[in-house]
């Protein structure tokens, strides 16, 4: 009986701490995603009758350019924009 009271109080304390409001709790949903519709640029290539590789390359190049406009020093986005641009030039003739 002497051991049950301290164990029970520790258990209650743990439950209270676990269920309490934590002011430093991080948002698990992450930051709000920006609306890309406002920043989307019209494609320079007419993709109405283009091949699927052409359309996909144009979309990926637009995404890379959008990412590069948000973070100008992003080397990965710069590389992707460059390479997808070359692919669009070759595939969308």
Sequence-distant (≥ 6) Cβ neighbours of residue 54 within 8 angstroms: 45, 47, 88, 91, 92
84 contacts: CB under 8 Å, gap ≥ 6:
57, 58, 60, 61, 64
Highest mean pLDDT among 1-5, 57-61, 89-93: 57-61
Residues 72-87, mean pLDDT to the nearest whole number: 90
Q: CA 87: distance to chain centroid?
A: 24
Assess contact for 68 and 74: CB atoms under 8 A.
yes
- What mean pLDDT is predicted for residues 41-64? 81
- Report whether pLDDT(79) > 60: yes
Q: Of residues 87 and 42, which shows the higher confidence score?
A: 87
Does residue 88 have a pLDDT over 80?
yes
Alpha-carbon gap, residue 67 to 91, rounded angstroms:
23
Amino acid 38: pLDDT? 44
């Amino acid at each position: 009986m002497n051991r049950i009271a301290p164990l029970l109080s520790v258990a209650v304390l743990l439950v209270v701490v676990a269920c309490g409001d934590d002011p430093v709790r991080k948002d698990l949903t992450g930051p709000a995603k920006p609306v890309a519709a406002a920043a989307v640029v019209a494609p320079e290539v007419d993709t109405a009758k283009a091949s699927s590789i052409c359309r996909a390359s144009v979309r990926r190049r637009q995404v890379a350019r959008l990412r590069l406009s948000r973070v100008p020093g992003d080397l990965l986005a710069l590389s992707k924009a460059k390479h997808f641009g070359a692919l669009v030039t070759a595939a969308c003739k």
